[in-house]
Structure formats: structure tokens, C-alpha cells
Chains A and B, each alone.
Chain A
């Protein structure tokens, strides 16, 4: 993934540490060696992505790929998605929604808000591992733009 000077950083917002670990393991198995930054709640993740002032200046010139779970303890992933996609510094960063919900309305809503990919976590582990590995392979060939 973008073997330029600035490596792409994967921001993983996932409250379940087990899931986070499994996701990380399987992405690694796909040969993705980029840095993965895990966050277990929305507040911290937003602080990193948009800065303490919420302006998004901190993300300028970063290359970010965001893995987002919708069920977070302090806010819903949709709030985060909305903030990221409406901020000029982060709006071009690809957001992959990776969640357990397969509700059609939820999926539509995420794409309406600008989500780039929506993936439902398969419940059985083989499916889950497989999906994450494929996602990892996808990451490997994906171009991530540098933010403004």
C-alpha cells in the first residue's frame, strides 16, 4: 500500500479488543505490514483524527485508512463517519465500515454519508478470517490519497 515516503496508517476503531486483535492478525496474514493504530472508543479516535480542537488540521498530509465499527460505547460509528466525511482534511480518507449489522437501512445510510466500503462481519470465524484477509489483500493494492 502506497510505498511512498509517507506510509499509510490504518486507524482501527473497534471497541471489542478481541475483534481488534483478530482483525489485526488476519490483516497481517494478508501481508499488510502497515502501522495499525487501534482505538477502542470514538472519543479517542476522533481526538486523533480531528485533533483536540476538532478542526482536522492534525490529519493534513496524513495518509489514513479508517476501519470503523458502528457499535461503540460512547457514540455510534455513524457519528464518526459523518464527522470524517464532512471535514475537508479527512473526507478523502477511505473509510471501511466493518460491523456486525447487516441492516439494509444502516448500510444505505453509511454509503449515503460517504463510506467507501461496508463489510458485515461474518459470524462464523472462517468467514470472518477470510473476509478480513481479503480485505487485507484489497488494502495491499489500494491507493490511499494524501489528505489536504
Chain B
């Protein structure tokens, strides 16, 4: 199952939240249960204290009765001691019971009843003791026999038992509740731990799957990349072959076009020579006035035929020029490049030197930047390129101002340099910026000799050197030719034009 990046983020966040919730639940429940446990443990301590107080109170009451009984039987004060002692403690113990049981309002009534019973019982016992002391032992026994004291005692015992049992029940409840709390804690912790483990496992699984996916995708990208490079190499080779083919084609075509042209030109010359003979004959013999045919023949020999020959000649000359231009281009494309270290500064100052005469005559100057770099390239091609560009700059200068040519260079990314040849000449109209690089195309006023070959040749050579040439120009302001060249021709993957000899 593929996992998208967003699904991964969503589920990771969800897992994180679930895990956090589980952890919070564990911590919260633990805190709550601990406070519960403390409450119940406090409660059970209090109840134990209640029970202890009640038990003590019951013992004291029984002690008083025991002492009283002993005294009744023996009439000796020694037996009365426990009674006295317990009686002295009873009030305090009762107070303690009251205090410890004060938390539960439902126990107020039984406690009050116990207090009453204690008072009544003490009063009854005191009566019997007083009667014994007064020697009226029978009366005292009679009081005892009245069962009033026994009934009180029974009642007190019943209340004590109930209270003590109630306390014990409450302790048992608290303990049971604590057990319940502890098992709750265990369950919640277990469950929370399970959830956390589950979430962690799910997150780990997602991460693993996603990572695996990423690795697979990376592999795929790498494979694609390799394929792409291969394809680029193949295409480049195809292009190189196509280019070679075109170069060869151009070469063969132009070459084969020259042969018939030689014939046309040659026989035109022969024709002209023959015509010369005819003309000479007419001049020598003159034209008989009575022969219209002779007049026409003379006209043909003297005017029509030379005119026709003139047109043939000018056309063949033009065609010859065009063929030579194409031949030159294709030959340049086929020339084996010889990469060598070329100091652009030296090369450009030599190129500038060759136009110096014309520049000085026009009152202008050529400025070379001082920091021109060196490149590894074909010296001859570079000389021709810059020679052409500088020639153009001089040729198409503006007549309104002294010519200024500036040459500078700067590095470009990818081990390339950009050389700029800027002039203040007449400029090139925007629609011709690309066109001037085409063969036989020229721009602006056709007031200078030329065939429209120079820039086409420049572009062909620069491209052959692994570079390109573009221009920026404004009519009336000047033109900047920009040559983007590789620093090292050998690093440029290019086979076209550098076929092995």
C-alpha cells in the first residue's frame, strides 16, 4: 500500500495524539486513583481510631460494672478501685469517642444514647455502692435485681456492637475500595501501555513502509536519471550525426553546384569571345543599308547579346559568391578543432590592432578590459570570430559620432565565460536581431558591401566551439554582441565538426 507524504504526516500526528492521550489517561487516572487511595486510607485510619475509642469506652464501662459487682459481693474498697479508676476515665473516653465520631452525623444519636446510658448506669451503680456503704446491702442487691442496670448494659452493648461492627464494615469497604482502585490502576496502566505500544508499533510500521517507499522511489529516480543521461547522450550523438550529415550534404551540394557553374561561366566567356569576333567583323565590313537582316544581326551582336551575357555573368558571380559562402561554412563545420590555451587579452588586442587604422581614422578607440581571461579553445576560430565582429563594428559605425568599441568578459556558471563586444554603431532593428545570424541576410541600409555571410559564419564557428552568440542592440545607439564560450573546449561533449582525420 503506497503511503503519501501527507498520509504519513496525518497518521503520524494522529498516532502521536493517540499516544499522548493514552499517556495522559494513565497519568490522570493514576493521580486520581492515588488521591482516592489516600482518601480511603485516611478514612480507614479514622474509622480504626473510632473503633478503638469505642472498644476502650466499652471496656471502661465493663470495668466499672466489674468493680461495682466485686464491691457488692465483698464490700471491700479494694474491689472498688477498678470502678473508681474507670469512672474517672469514662468522661474523657466519652469525649474522645464523641470527637472521633463527630465526622459522621448519623452516629451522633447512638453516641448521645451511650452517654445517657453511661450516666444512668453510673448513677445506678453509684446508688448501689452508696447503699452498700450505708449497710443496706439488700436494697442494693434489690436494685441490681431490678434488671434496670442489666438492661442498660445490654442496650449499651448492643449500641457498641453496632457501632463497632459499622466501623469494621466501613474499614472493610475502604479496603475493598482500595483493592478496586488498585485493579483499576492496573487495568488503566495496562490498557494505556497497550495503546502506546500499539501506536508506537503503527508509527514504526508506517515509518518503515514510508522509508522503504522513499528508498524505492530514490532507486527509481536514480534509474530514471541514468536512463535520462543515456538518452541525452544518445540524442546528442544523433544530433551530432545529423549535423555531420548536413555539413557533408552542404559540402557535396555546393561542390557539385560549382561544376556546372564553371561551365556556365566558361562558355559565357567563350560566347563573349566569339561575339567579339562578330562585332569586329561588323565594324570592319559595316552594315549594308539595304539589308534589314544584317541590321538586326548587328544589333544582336552589339547590344542584345552583350546585355544578356552581362546578366548571365552578374548572376553567375552572385551564385558563385553564395556557393562559396556555403562552402566556407560547411568547411568550417568540418574543420578539426585544435584546442589550446588562448589568452583572450592577447588575441583580442591583436584583433583590435588590425582595425586600429580604420578606428583611428574615424577618431574613435577600442577599449579592452584589463582582466580578460584565458580559455582552452581553437585559436583560429576565435580569431575569425572576433575579427568578424570587430570588422562589423567598424563597418556599421554611426557616421554621427566617433566610434567606440569596448570588449569585456565575465565568468558565467558552468565553467563558461561571456565575452561582450560593445559598439556605439548604427544598431540593429529588433526584428532583425535573430535574422542577421542567418546566411545571406543583412539588416538596415544596404550601403556597405557584403554578402550577409559574416555573422552566419560567426555563429557557426561559435557553436562549433561549444558556445553561442546573441546580440542586444538599439537602433541609433549601438550593438552588444554576447559570446558565451566554454572555458575549456575539451570539456564540451561535442563530436560534430571534429571528426578524426
Instruction: Pick the contact of A19: B259, B269, B323 (CB < 8 A).
Output: B259
Q: Is the CB of B269 within 8 A of A123?
A: no
Contacts of A125 in B (CB 8 A): 262, 265-266, 268-269
A44 to B400, CA, bound (A): 67
**B263 within 8 Å of A by Cβ?**
yes
Q: Is the CB of B263 within 8 A of A124?
A: no
Contacting B at CB under 8 A, from A95-148, are: 100-101, 103, 105, 121, 123-126, 128-129
A79 to B256, CA, bound (A): 19
Contacts of B256 in A (CB 8 A): 71
Contacts of A61 in B (CB 8 A): none
A133 to B501, CA, bound (A): 34
Contacts of A103 in B (CB 8 A): 331
Contacting B at CB under 8 A, from A1-44, are: 16, 18-19, 22, 25
Q: Is the CB of A124 within 8 A of B265?
A: yes
Instruction: Pick the contact of B258: A18, A25, A123 (CB < 8 A).
Output: A123
Instruction: Pick the contact of B263: A18, A105, A126, A129 (CB < 8 A).
Output: A18
Q: B180 → chain A, closest Cβ, in Å?
A: 106
Instruction: Pick the contact of A124: B270, B320, B331, B501 (CB < 8 A).
Output: B320
Contacts of B270 in A (CB 8 A): 22, 25
Q: 1/0 contact trace for B225-265 toward A, CB 8 Å?
A: 00000000000000000000000000000011011111101
Instruction: Pick the contact of A16: B263, B268, B317 (CB < 8 A).
Output: B263
Q: A104 → chain B, closest Cβ, in Å?
A: 9
Q: A14 → chain B, closest Cβ, in Å?
A: 10
Query: Is the interface on chain B under 10, 10 to 19, 20 to 34, or 35 or more residues?
Result: 20 to 34
Q: How many A-B residue pairs have CB under 8 A?
A: 50
Most chain B CB within 10 A, of A16, A19, A71, A123, is at A123
Residue in chain B with minimal CB distance to A105: B501
Most chain A CB within 10 A, of B267, B317, B324, is at B267
A129 to B273, CA, bound (A): 13
Contacting A at CB under 8 A, from B297-348, are: 317, 320, 323-324, 331
Q: Is the CB of B259 within 8 A of A129?
A: no
A117 to B25, CA, bound (A): 106
Q: Is the CB of A100 within 8 A of B255?
A: yes
Q: Is the CB of A22 within 8 A of B501?
A: no
Contacts of B501 in A (CB 8 A): 105
Contacts of A19 in B (CB 8 A): 259, 262-263, 266
Contacts of A129 in B (CB 8 A): 266, 269
Most chain A CB within 10 A, of B255, B265, B320, B331, is at B265
Q: Is the CB of B267 within 8 A of A100?
A: no
Instruction: Pick the contact of B320: A22, A25, A71, A123 (CB < 8 A).
Output: A123
A105 to B499, CA, bound (A): 12
Q: Given that A123-B324, A124-B320 are known contacts, is A101 also in contact with B255, CB under 8 Å in the complex?
A: yes
Contacts of B260 in A (CB 8 A): 16, 18
Q: Is the CB of B258 within 8 A of A100?
A: yes
A100 to B260, CA, bound (A): 11
Classify the secondary structure of B's interface with A. Answer: helix
Residue in chain A with minimal CB distance to B256: A71
Q: Is the CB of B267 within 8 A of A18?
A: yes
Instruction: Pick the contact of B262: A71, A101, A121 (CB < 8 A).
Output: A121
A89 to B319, CA, bound (A): 44
Contacts of A18 in B (CB 8 A): 260, 262-263, 266-267
Q: Is the CB of B258 within 8 A of A22?
A: no
Contacts of B261 in A (CB 8 A): 123
Q: Is the CB of A128 within 8 A of B262?
A: yes
Contacting B at CB under 8 A, from A43-87, are: 71
Q: A48 → chain B, closest Cβ, in Å?
A: 23
Contacts of A71 in B (CB 8 A): 255-256, 259
Q: Is the CB of A123 within 8 A of B262?
A: yes
Contacts of B268 in A (CB 8 A): 125
Q: A38 → chain B, closest Cβ, in Å?
A: 15
Contacting A at CB under 8 A, from B70-114, are: none
Contacts of B269 in A (CB 8 A): 125-126, 129
A125 to B267, CA, bound (A): 9
Q: A26 → chain B, closest Cβ, in Å?
A: 9
A101 to B251, CA, bound (A): 10
Q: Is the CB of B263 within 8 A of A22?
A: yes
Q: A93 → chain B, closest Cβ, in Å?
A: 25
Q: Given that A123-B320, A124-B320 are known contacts, is A22 also in contact with B259, CB under 8 Å in the complex?
A: no
Q: B45 → chain A, closest Cβ, in Å?
A: 116
A101 to B256, CA, bound (A): 10
Q: 1/0 contact trace for B489-501 toward A, CB 8 Å?
A: 0000000000001
Q: B255 → chain A, closest Cβ, in Å?
A: 6
Contacts of B259 in A (CB 8 A): 16, 19, 71, 100
Q: A124 → chain B, closest Cβ, in Å?
A: 6
Most chain A CB within 10 A, of B258, B262, B324, is at B262
A91 to B260, CA, bound (A): 32
A25 to B271, CA, bound (A): 13
A18 to B268, CA, bound (A): 12
Q: A114 → chain B, closest Cβ, in Å?
A: 20
Knowing that A16-B263, A18-B263, A100-B262 touch, tell me 16 more A-B residue pairs with CB under 8 angstroms. A19-B263, A19-B266, A22-B262, A25-B270, A71-B255, A71-B256, A71-B259, A100-B258, A100-B259, A123-B258, A124-B317, A125-B265, A125-B266, A125-B269, A126-B269, A128-B266
28 CB contacts below 8 A, A to B, read A16-B259, A18-B263, A18-B266, A19-B259, A19-B266, A22-B262, A22-B266, A22-B267, A25-B270, A71-B256, A71-B259, A100-B255, A100-B262, A103-B331, A105-B501, A121-B262, A123-B258, A123-B265, A123-B320, A123-B323, A123-B324, A124-B265, A124-B317, A125-B266, A125-B268, A125-B269, A128-B262, A129-B266
Closest A-B pairs by Cβ, 7 of them = A18-B263, A125-B265, A22-B266, A125-B266, A125-B269, A100-B258, A16-B259
